[in-house]
Structure 1
Amino acid sequence: MDSKSKIDIRKLTLDQLRGQLVSMEEQAFRAKQIYEWLWQKSCTDFDEMSNLSKPLRDTLKQAFTINAVNVRQAQQSADSTIKSSFVLHDGNIIEGVLIPTPDRMTACVSSQVGCSLTCKFCATGYMDRKRNLHADEIYDQVVLIGKQAMENYGQPLTNIVYMGMGEPLLNYANVLASVQRISAPDGLNMAAKRITISTAGIAKMIKKLGDDQVRFNLALSLHAANDKKRNEIMPINEQNSLQALAEALKYYYAKTKNPVTYEYIVFNGFNDDLSDAQELASFCKHLPCKVNIIEYNPIAFAEFENASEDKIDRFADFLRNKGVITNIRRSRGKDIDAACGQLAIKETANPGI
Structure 2
Amino acid sequence: MKQDIRKQTPAQLTDWFKQNGEPAFRAKQVHEWLWKKSARSFEQMSNLSVALRDKLDTDFAINSLTVATEQRSNDGTIKSSFRLFDGNLVEGVLIPALRTDDTDRMTACVSSQVGCSLTCKFCATGYMDRKRNLDAAEIYDQVVEIDRQAKTTFNAPLTNIVYMGMGEPLLNYKNVLESVDRITSPDGLGMSPKRITISTAGIAKMIRQLGDDGVKTNLALSLHAANDLKRDQIMPINESNSLANLADALGYFYRKTGTRVTFEYIVFYNFNDTLQDAKELWEFTKKVPAKVNIIEYNPIAEASFKNTDPQTLDKFAGYLEDRGVIVSIRRSRGKDIDAACGQLAGKEKTVQ
Q: TM-score range by the shorter chain?
A: over 0.9
Match of 2:268 in 1: 267
Match of 1:334 in 2: 335
Q: Distance in 2 between matches of 1:283 and 1:12?
A: 44
Please tell me whether residue 9 in structure 1 is matched to residue 5 in structure 2: yes
Indicate the percent of aligned positions where both proteins have the same amino acid.
Answer: 67
Q: Distance in 1 between matches of 2:142 and 2:54?
A: 27
Instruction: Answer yes or no: is the 8 Å Cα contact 1:168–1:197 preserved in 2.
Output: yes
- Alignment partner of 2:59 out of 52, 63, 70: 63
Q: Distance in 1 between matches of 2:47 and 2:348?
A: 40
- Alignment partner of 1:44 out of 21, 30, 40: 40
Residue pairs, 1:273-292, within 5 angstroms: 273-292=274-293
- CA displacement at 1:45 relative to structure 2: 0.6
Q: What TM-score, normalized to structure 1?
A: 0.97
For 1:8, give the aligned amino acid: D
Residue pairs, 1:190-209, within 5 angstroms: 190-209=191-210
Instruction: Answer yes or no: is the 8 Å Cα contact 2:68–2:348 preserved in 1.
Output: no
Secondary structure of the equivalent of 2:116?
A: coil
Q: 1:280-300 CA deviation, whole Å, 9 max, x = no partner?
A: 000001121100000000000
Match of 2:234 in 1: 233
Secondary structure of the equivalent of 2:190?
A: coil
Residue pairs, 1:29-178, within 5 angstroms: 29-101=25-97, 102=101, 103=103, 104-178=105-179
Report the aligned-residue RMSD: 0.8
- CA displacement at 1:15 relative to structure 2: 2.5
Q: Distance in 2 between matches of 1:149 and 1:13?
A: 31
For 1:51, give the aligned amino acid: N
Aligned residues: 347
Q: Distance in 1 between matches of 2:282 and 2:22?
A: 61
For 1:204, give the aligned amino acid: K
- CA displacement at 1:24 relative to structure 2: 2.4
For 2:24, give the aligned amino acid: A
Q: Distance in 2 between matches of 1:170 and 1:23?
A: 37
Q: Distance in 1 between matches of 2:298 and 2:327?
A: 20
Q: Distance in 2 between matches of 1:281 and 1:243?
A: 15
For 1:46, give the aligned amino acid: F
Match of 1:27 in 2: 23
* Structure 2 unaligned blocks of 5 or more: none
Q: Distance in 1 between matches of 2:329 and 2:126?
A: 24
Secondary structure of the equivalent of 1:282?
A: helix
Q: Distance in 1 between matches of 2:324 and 2:215?
A: 27
Q: Distance in 2 between matches of 1:80 and 1:316?
A: 27
Instruction: Answer yes or no: is the 8 Å Cα contact 1:337–1:346 preserved in 2.
Output: no
Instruction: Answer yes or no: is the 8 Å Cα contact 1:111–1:165 preserved in 2.
Output: yes
For 1:112, give the aligned amino acid: Q
- CA displacement at 1:347 relative to structure 2: 4.2
Secondary structure of the equivalent of 1:286?
A: coil
